[in-house]
Amino acid sequence: MNNDKTLHSEINKVITLLKAKKSIIAFTGAGISTESGIPDFRGPQGVWKKYRPIELSEVLQDPESRALYWQRKIDMYPQMKNAVPNKGHLALFELYKKNFLQYVITQNIDGLHQRAGMPDDRVIELHGSNTYIACLDCRKRYEWEDILPLFEKQSTSPKCDECGGWLKPATISFGQAILEYETNEAERIASAADAIIVIGSSLQVYPAAGIPVTTKMNGGSVVIINMEPTGQDEIADCLLHGPAGDILQAIAEGVDERAILKKKREF
């Protein structure tokens, strides 16, 4: 972690940098939501310290893995349902309202950016969403409240009433194809941005970890805010090792609302 003095001067550097930029985006990972009580995967209290990942092929082919997958999701459901946006999510929304942020690209599946106020069409969810359930075959959407009672009535995992496909929370599991539209949008937006603020991501998993690199290679600046060193610290113009909530709040408070700039770089 940076000491307070270094952090303070780095926050001021970020504020100065953002004031000079027009098209600013954020790229968030699990670390922005730990302060809302949702554990990350690879941090010191991460989920992978407790569980092994389950691949999509196991969910599809092995009834025991499928049951285990659903059991974990059901166990974690109350935590997800009751989680509220924290200072970090709210500060990003503040930056959006002040015209210092155009898009949030997120690896998170918790829907907390939208619950903090970000409009749906300003949030790109690269790994889908845990806030609803979808059929793996026809993508029909189901709500948690309608699916949960089925587990009390039947012991097997639920199937789609439309096409008979397996239902699963609408997240991208290991071994599942990436979301093409979201991935292309993220790539396009990251190329056009003249600054990217990366928050709470270990930047170890590709293609997600390549997003700040895309901005950098297209001439944009990179700000990284993370508790621990990340896989991309060497490309950062500003590097802040500390808690995301406090840091983002200080940044959002450091800028005044500005008019939308006419010559804004187009997304």
Catalytic amino acids?
127
Binding-site string for Zn ion from residue 155 to residue 184, where x marks contact by CB under 5 A and - marks none: -----x-xx-x-------------------
CA 157 – CA 23 distance, rounded (Å): 45
Contacting range for ligand NAD; rule: CB under 6 A; set: 101-109, 136-144, 162-170, 213-221: 101-109
Closest to 56 (Cα-Cα) out of 138, 208, 172, 182:
172
Nearest-approach distance from CB 160 to Zn ion, in angstroms: 3
The residues, any chain, with a CB within 8 Å of residue 95's CB and separated by 6 or more, are 18, 24, 26, 101, 248, 251, 252, 255
The residues, any chain, with a CB within 8 Å of residue 46's CB and separated by 6 or more, are 39, 40
Binding to ligand NAD in span 15-34, by CB under 6 A: 29-31, 33-34
Q: What is the residue type of 213? A: V
Residue 163 DSSP symbol:
T
Consecutive H or E run containing 171: strand 167-171
Site for ligand NAD contains 169 (CB under 6 A): no
Binding-site string for ligand NAD from residue 203 to residue 232, where x marks contact by CB under 6 A and - marks none: -xx--------------------xxx----
Binding-site string for Zn ion from residue 99 to residue 138, where x marks contact by CB under 5 A and - marks none: ------------------------------------x-xx
Q: Which is nearer to ligand NAD, 25 or 160 (CB)?
A: 25
Q: Which is nearer to ligand NAD, 30 or 160 (CB)?
A: 30
Site for ligand NAD contains 35 (CB under 6 A): yes
Site for ligand NAD contains 200 (CB under 6 A): yes
148: left (phi over 0), alpha (psi -120 to 50) or beta: alpha
Nearest-approach distance from CB 135 to Zn ion, in angstroms: 3
* The entry of ligand NAD, Zn ion, none that residue 226 binds, CB within 5 to 8 Å by partner kind: ligand NAD
CA 117 – CA 88 distance, rounded (Å): 12
* The entry of ligand NAD, Zn ion, none that residue 85 binds, CB within 5 to 8 Å by partner kind: none
Q: With b meaning 16 or more CB within 10 Å and e meaning fewer, what string describes 201-232?
A: bbbeeeebbebbbbbbeeebbbbbbbbeebeb
Closest to 85 (Cα-Cα) out of 98, 71, 72, 96:
96
Q: Which is nearer to Zn ion, 135 or 172 (CB)?
A: 135
Binding to ligand NAD in span 41-70, by CB under 6 A: 41-43, 46-47
Site for ligand NAD contains 108 (CB under 6 A): yes
